[in-house]
Amino acid sequence: MIRWLIIVLVYFILAIYTFQVIKAAKMYNIVAYCFVLISLVILGNFVFQIVYAGKVGMVFSDPNNKAKSYALGLFLAMVVFQGIVFFFLFFEDACRFIVAIYNRYYGISKEFSLTSRRRFVSLIGLGVATIPFSALLYGMHRGKYNYKVLNYNLEYEDLPEAFEGYKITQISDIHCGSFDNRSMIEYGVSLINQQKSDVILFTGDMVNNKADELIPWKSVFSKLEANDGIFSILGNHDYGDYVEWETEEAKRNNLIDLKNLQKEMGFDLLLNDSRYLQKGEDKIALIGVENWGRGGFKKAGDLKKAVSKINKDDFKILMSHDPSHWEDQVLKDDYHYHLTLSGHTHGMQFGIEIPGWIKWSPAKWRYKYWAGVYKELGQMINVNRGFGFLGYPGRVGIWPEITVITLKKRSLT
């Protein structure tokens, strides 16, 4: 209860401050009062959705509730707007206060009097705050379905000859319980098929929590096709660990249902297991582990079991949902994993990426390897930014990703 009171209090303080800034900008009164009305509606809807509507709790414990997700998104957008206005103009207010103190003790009038806010500073603050506010709204409307195909050519000296030019499409973090636009998901699946890759690899988090989230989308994802098949693994959300179950049996059955649905869709689910991709006499070992994540995340991944059917000197591609597994265990393993494919981070669904210039997201504060291709100790990992979304119902700057990796043989000379 105290947490909610603090959130509401901070929101009101920011709203009052922003209201004063709008007035200082000498805009029409109706603008200021419309801001107050919109702020109150967004706050009221957020509190209602979180506290009273559906399952009580934050949106991350009930991500299938679309109204709750959008309430969070609008609340976040307004808090960002108000917060930027506050911090942008706080320094001007601090200067006004310092000047007033100086005049009180050293000025001619010996009076404590705050000067008025400068209109142009207020306008600049409001203008700057409008940029991320608009971006967050765009992210909810269009950004979450702004699919990007990212192509990588990865070279290996020991790549089997027959796999020169072999194309892999990786998708990750579908989170189908969050979807709200069937035509855009069908477009995304069509875009995957257009890549005409040899194999499609899905690296976990098919659902938010429950297997039945997949049922409305089963027919869509069943249309995925690749000559050498579609392989998948489980992510942390697939186990149903983030919702309450009436019994442990119900939770176990949910996971069984999810596995069966993937099988019916044509996905070959690898649970600490391996397969060989064969081209004539040449082959690549494809390994899939269950989720293993640093900290409190499920640690069901078992590398030793997963590689028990392959040879140590095979060319190996590993699917592991959480990139912290690569950092903490895979790189230190006795086996050399040429390429690891992960997801999980979503790139935090927010950031700035300008190829060759900047690549930033809050995700980098938690994950060393959070998006794209990295190389350590002669091994590579690609961290996919995700196909879907969770929590905030949108994406800004970190767009939904379809990765296409082409394997190349590098000359020894």
- What is the average pLDDT value for the chain, to the nearest integer? 90
Residue 58 has pLDDT above 60, yes or no: no
Q: What pLDDT, on a 0 to 100 scale, did the predictor assign at position 338?
A: 98
Sequential DSSP letters for 270-292: -SSEEEEEEETTEEEEEEE---B
SS3 49: helix
Residue 109 has pLDDT above 70, yes or no: no
Which amino acid is residue 130, in one-letter code?
A: T
Q: Could you tell me which residues are beta bridge partners of residue 153?
A: 406
* Site of tokens 């027959």: 162
pLDDT digits (tens, 9 = 90+) for 290-309: 999 999 999 999 999 999 99
pTM summary value: 0.90
Among 15, 4, 23, smallest CA distance to 86 is for 15
pLDDT bucket at 36, cuts 50 / 70 / 90: confident
Which amino acid is residue 310, in one-letter code?
A: I
Mean pLDDT to the nearest integer, 276-282: 95
Mean pLDDT to the nearest integer, 323-341: 97
Cβ-Cβ contacts under 8 Å for 45 (sequence gap 6 or more): 71, 74, 75
Q: What pLDDT, on a 0 to 100 scale, did the predictor assign at position 121?
A: 74
| Residues 389 and 178 sit within 8 Å (Cβ to Cβ) | yes
Cβ-Cβ contacts under 8 Å for 232 (sequence gap 6 or more): 201, 202, 203, 204, 206, 262, 267, 268, 269, 270, 288, 319
Which helix (H) or strand (E) segment holds residue 403: the answer is strand 401-409
Q: What pLDDT, on a 0 to 100 scale, did the predictor assign at position 104?
A: 66
| Residues 63 and 178 sit within 8 Å (Cβ to Cβ) | yes
Kindly report the length of the chain. 413
Q: What pLDDT, on a 0 to 100 scale, did the predictor assign at position 186?
A: 98
Q: What pLDDT, on a 0 to 100 scale, did the predictor assign at position 31?
A: 84
Quote the CA–CA distance of 238 and 207 in Å, as a whole number.
6
pLDDT bucket at 19, cuts 50 / 70 / 90: confident
| Residues 223 and 339 sit within 8 Å (Cβ to Cβ) | no
Dihedral angle at the C-alpha atoms of 297, 298, 303, 306, nearest 10 degrees?
-140
Mean pLDDT to the nearest integer, 30-37: 86
pLDDT digits (tens, 9 = 90+) for 305-329: 999 999 999 999 999 999 999 999 9
Could you tell me the two tokens for 232? 């998948």
Alpha-carbon separation of residue 209 from 109, 244, 298, 346 (angstroms):
67, 10, 14, 17
| Residues 391 and 50 sit within 8 Å (Cβ to Cβ) | no
SS3 298: coil
pLDDT bucket at 68, cuts 50 / 70 / 90: confident
Greater confidence, 273 or 128?
273
Percent of the chain at pLDDT exceeding 70: 90
| Residues 394 and 141 sit within 8 Å (Cβ to Cβ) | yes
Q: What pLDDT, on a 0 to 100 scale, did the predictor assign at position 28?
A: 67
CA atoms within a 13 Å half-sphere pointing along the CA-CB vector of 368:
10
Q: What pLDDT, on a 0 to 100 scale, did the predictor assign at position 171?
A: 98
pLDDT bucket at 86, cuts 50 / 70 / 90: confident
Residue 57 has pLDDT above 50, yes or no: no
Q: What angle do CA 276, 280, 285 make, to 5 degrees?
A: 20
Mean pLDDT to the nearest integer, 259-281: 97
pLDDT digits (tens, 9 = 90+) for 192-227: 999 999 999 999 999 999 999 999 999 999 999 999
| Residues 31 and 22 sit within 8 Å (Cβ to Cβ) | yes
Residue 56 has pLDDT above 50, yes or no: no
Which amino acid is residue 168, in one-letter code?
A: I
Among 52, 73, 56, smallest CA distance to 244 is for 56
Q: What pLDDT, on a 0 to 100 scale, did the predictor assign at position 183?
A: 97
Q: What pLDDT, on a 0 to 100 scale, did the predictor assign at position 101?
A: 74
* Site of tokens 């994406």: 395
- Phi, psi for 222 (deg, rounded to 5): -70, -15
Dihedral sign for Cα atoms in the order 204, 210, 211, 217: negative
Which amino acid is residue 411, in one-letter code?
A: S
pLDDT digits (tens, 9 = 90+) for 116-153: 666 777 788 888 999 999 999 999 999 999 999 999 99
Which amino acid is residue 210, in one-letter code?
A: K
Least confident residue range of 93-102, 328-337, 380-389: 93-102
Among 333, 399, 408, smallest CA distance to 145 is for 399
Which pairing describes strands 379-383 and 372-376: parallel, antiparallel, or unpaired?
antiparallel
pLDDT digits (tens, 9 = 90+) for 354-410: 988 999 999 999 999 999 999 999 999 999 999 999 999 999 999 999 999 999 998
Residue 111 has pLDDT above 80, yes or no: no
Mean pLDDT to the nearest integer, 263-271: 98
Percent of the chain at pLDDT exceeding 90: 71
Which helix (H) or strand (E) segment holds residue 94: the answer is helix 66-106
Sequential DSSP letters for 131-154: HHHHHHHHHHHTGGG--EEEEEEE
Q: Could you tell me which residues are beta bridge partners of residue 152?
A: 405
Which domains are present in the chain? 2-141 (no CATH), 147-409 (3.60.21.10)
